[in-house]
A and B are shown apart, each in its own frame.
Chain A
Amino acid sequence: MAVQTPTPADTDRMERQRAKIEADLEFWRGHYEELAQEYPEQFISVHADRVVASDTDLPRLWKKLEALGYGAGETAIEFMTEQPRFVLL
């Protein structure tokens, strides 16, 4: 199995995506608790620091986003909960 190498275009695009991921993480750090109170047990989608859609079901949220004109990766999606999560992976 060979290692694939990104092209310069891939690298440029990934730099932009990486910056978006870091901005999204910073957004969740600052707003997770208030949004979890407002949207408990739901997936929410945020664009430009604003919640644009929410649903308890991820595929339904994706459909809502498509209807609103947002493609994959254009918003930040996170699951909101105030409950302790026992994630055993």
Chain B
Amino acid sequence: MIEGFFERQSHDAPAPYVLGSVVLSGVSGWGPMPFLVDTGASRTVIHPRDARELLGIPEENLISPPPSWGPPVSGLGVGGGSSYFELPGTIGFTDNTGPPATFPLTFGLAPLTPANASLPSLLGRDILQYFELTRNWPKRVIQLERV
């Protein structure tokens, strides 16, 4: 079982998070990262603040991505389109009932824009499909259980 937590800032509704571990092949070393659990996101996305602060990706690469990252892909959102770079890597989670749960994954890495500078990274359905999600704010419970 993977245990998450809620964060609630300012006037926001409580937001469910889990702490994962991430490595982007050939781009970053391993780093722990809080992910907002987002059942509306089709894929897991790392946003730029986390990319620099938690994975050590240089700021200049987030502003002018290197050619080795390949062409950006477009994503659709409620607020309009966004572009992402598809980078392979691994995501892992501490499981308190067994060995760590690890998955190979193609991450979306967002280049820095004014609109995404304050956004958390997102745990999308490409990973959530492997879990049963329990979300209970009154009991302060966020759990992911392998199915």
Point out residues on A near B: beta carbons under 8 Å: 1-6, 10, 13-14, 17-18, 21, 25, 28-29, 32-33, 36, 43, 57-59, 62, 72-73, 77, 79, 81-85, 87-89
Instruction: Give the CA-CA distance A39 to B38 in the complex, in Å.
Output: 28
Contact flag A17-B117 (CB < 8 Å), given A59-B112, A88-B77, A88-B78: no
Mark each residue of chain B from 100 to 137: 1 if its CB lies under 8 Å from any CB of chain A, else 0. 00111110000010100111001000000000000000
Do B78 and A18 touch across chains, with their CB atoms under 8 A apart? no
Do A33 and B10 touch across chains, with their CB atoms under 8 A apart? yes
Q: Can you give 9 contacting A-B residue pairs, CB < 8 Å?
A: A4-B104, A6-B92, A32-B10, A59-B63, A73-B54, A82-B10, A87-B12, A88-B77, A89-B38
Instruction: Give the CA-CA distance A4 to B30 in the complex, in Å.
Output: 10
Residues of A close to B71: CB separation below 8 A: none
B72 at the interface (CB under 8 A from A): no
- In the assembled complex, the CB of A81 is this many whole angstroms from the nearest CB of chain B, namely 6
Instruction: Give the CA-CA distance A85 to B41 in the complex, in Å.
Output: 19
Residues of A close to B92: CB separation below 8 A: 6
Do A83 and B34 touch across chains, with their CB atoms under 8 A apart? no
- In the assembled complex, the CB of B72 is this many whole angstroms from the nearest CB of chain A, namely 18
Contact of A14 among B30, B52, B56, B106 (CB under 8 A): B30
Point out residues on B near A: beta carbons under 8 Å: 5, 7, 9-12, 19, 21, 23, 25, 29-32, 34, 36, 38, 40-41, 48-49, 52-54, 56, 59, 63, 77-79, 88-90, 92, 102-106, 112, 114, 117-119, 122
Task: Name 13 extra pairs, CB < 8 A, besides A73-B54, A85-B11.
Answer: A1-B88, A3-B90, A6-B23, A6-B30, A10-B30, A14-B21, A17-B32, A17-B54, A21-B19, A28-B9, A36-B10, A58-B112, A84-B10
If over half of B's interface residues share one DSSP class (helix, strand or loop), that class is named, otherwise mixed; here it is: mixed
Which of A36, A57, A59 has most chain B Cβ within 10 Å? A59
Which of B53, B59, B106, B117 has most chain A Cβ within 10 Å? B53
Do A58 and B49 touch across chains, with their CB atoms under 8 A apart? yes
